[in-house]
Structure 1
């Protein structure tokens, strides 16, 4: 059964960015936080908690529907499979994402798409982000 990311333990997040670095390093072969498909940030203010912008693993992903080249394909259980060679950099997926978690990498001319691989979960020192069996449609 397919699993998708869940960030329901954000109160435990210390803002170490290990998840973001793991994503960028493993998927994009980069040491830049800007190349991560997951974004950790504060809600604002001095005493603020951390928030995670992550793909919610939609069962019927709007980003895949918006992709006219077949670079994004719906994944069984939620989320998408990304085929970079088919991507033309049109950014339609960025605009279509209903939770606005797709960013665009202007260097590679490709979107930064979460592929629900779980790499970020393995590097989180406090198990803030987890992989769970999908079941909720967004």
Structure 2
């Protein structure tokens, strides 16, 4: 491994081959191609009319959108956003303690935990019952 590395470092930079019929070295794959491109990209915008400039801008924007498209990443970001928003809503409706006298989602909570309670043997949620002292009139 090291002898190969030393030999490559001592050899110096590789020499690029001369291109036939190349008036200008184009960047990217065209620099190594033996075929001359039909159109020069990017065009000289000072020589184009407004309509042609607009067409080239539209084409460039479309190419940029296609080149930078990341459908899998966008899908996962959308799923993560949907999951986090859903989690916050469910947590705030069913589990969050609002520290108020009357909780805004008490009806939804009682119905939900009542339905869940029918499936389990133990009661997980007890609605907040006011602690009233028992009087002798209530016992009679």
- Could you state the TM-score of these two structures normalised by the residue count of structure 2? 0.21
Larger radius of gyration: 2
Task: Flag the structure with higher strand content.
Answer: 1
Higher relative contact order (CA closer than 8 Å, sequence separation 6+): 1
